[in-house]
Amino acid sequence: MRIATRRFVRRMTVADIPQVLEVERESFPTMWPPTAFKRELQQNRIARYILVAEHNPTAPAIEAVPTEIPKSAGPLGRVWDELRAFLGTDAQPALAPLEERQEVVLGFLGVWMPADEAHIVTFGVREAHRRQGIGEQLLISVIELARASGKAIVTLECRVSNEAALALYEKYGFEKVGLRPRYYSDDHEDAYVLSVAYLLTEKYRRSFERLKEAHRRRWGDFAMEEET
């Protein structure tokens, strides 16, 4: 059953991949290859992907129909076809304009959860929906997921020039614990390694609850969609 709400948080599914790829291309236009979301969702047991979406009750009830991509010719073509299938980009639906979609993915976050920590591996928000609390809601949700799973530590990498993201992470207790020189393949920019290592303490719980309430007052409720 779906909660009737304007914006909500839920787990990502394979059906969401076309829209998530749109957001990824906007957020990381020089990244290649794109994230292998299909493999991550179906085969990576430690991966969790969540998204913020918006339901549009006035949109026409028209389902997107997958469009088959013609197979390429020659040996190199076969390699390219295999890569597309691996990345989950084969036979993707032809997407309607945003205003005509019943549900629009506004942002997504991927996290790997090995035995001792939660590591954020990707994080993107549609350009037109930035500075609306969506990225912060995704961060709140992954911290909640980590705490519920008994993880005391969340880590990630962030461009040294991304001041807005660094300020958000600092707000939630992340500290700079390392530097990865020339970490990003597109421009070889350095990345800070950020970590918050005391999620399960009472002190952090109180601080986190205050931040969540401040976010709710400013941006409204982002309900958790019920799973079927």
Q: Tell me the whole-structure pTM to 2 decimals.
A: 0.83
Residue-level pLDDT, tens digit, the chain, 228 residues: 444 458 999 999 999 999 999 999 999 988 778 889 999 999 999 999 999 999 887 777 554 444 344 454 555 555 545 555 555 555 455 688 887 888 999 999 999 999 889 999 999 999 999 999 999 999 999 999 999 999 999 999 999 999 999 999 999 999 999 999 999 988 899 999 999 999 999 999 999 999 999 999 999 999 887 654
Domain boundaries of the chain, sorted by first residue: 7-153+197-224
Q: Let me know: does 180 contact 195? Beta carbons within 8 Å.
A: no
The domain over range 7-153+197-224 is classified in CATH as 3.90.1150.10: no
pLDDT of residue 72: 47
What is the tens place of the pLDDT at every residue in 36-56? 999 999 999 999 999 999 988
